[in-house]
Amino acid sequence: QFLRVTKQYLPHVARLCLISTFLEDGIRMWFQWSEQRDYIDGTWNCGYFLASIFVFTNLFGQLSGCILVLSRNFVQYACFGLFGIIALQTIAYSILWDLKFLMR
């Protein structure tokens, strides 16, 4: 009986669980804009403008990808975009050489 009632909501809940990390990270970037920008600027010495563009790209890429996946529009492109954000963050935040983080 329970499954019959909730059957129509389960795909939406499953998609939300799959993109929850991207959603949380995008929202966190919105609220910690200056900290993220200062970290990128301090790490790469690229200036506030380029650091701001990087943070905006991450924020927009993650939130738009999440919205597209949840709305079931252009899901393949949204997933490729989210994968690209992962690759970009791996390079920008020097995660590639942090084995402990990668294993997590």
Predicted pLDDT at 7: 86
> For residue 73, what are the contacts with CB-CB under 8 A and spacing of at least 6?
none
Predicted pLDDT at 62: 96
**In whole angstroms, what is the distance from residue 28 CA to residue 41 CA?**
18
Q: Tokens in use for 42?
A: 């301090």
- Exposure string over 18-54, b if 16+ CB within 10 A, otherwise e: ebeebbebbeebeeeeeebbeebbeeeeeeeeebbeb
Q: How confident is the model over 20-41, as a mean pLDDT?
A: 93
What is the residue-averaged pLDDT of the chain?
Answer: 90
pLDDT tier at 38 (50, 70, 90 boundaries)? Answer: very high
Q: What percent of the chain has pLDDT over 70?
A: 100
At 40-87, the pLDDT tens digits run 999 899 999 999 999 999 999 999 999 999 999 999 999 999 999 999
Q: Domains of the chain: which residue ranges?
A: 1-103
Q: What are the CA-CA distances from residue 95 to residues 66, 84, 102 (Å)?
A: 22, 14, 7
Higher pLDDT, 90 or 82: 82
Q: How confident is the model over 3-28, as a mean pLDDT?
A: 90
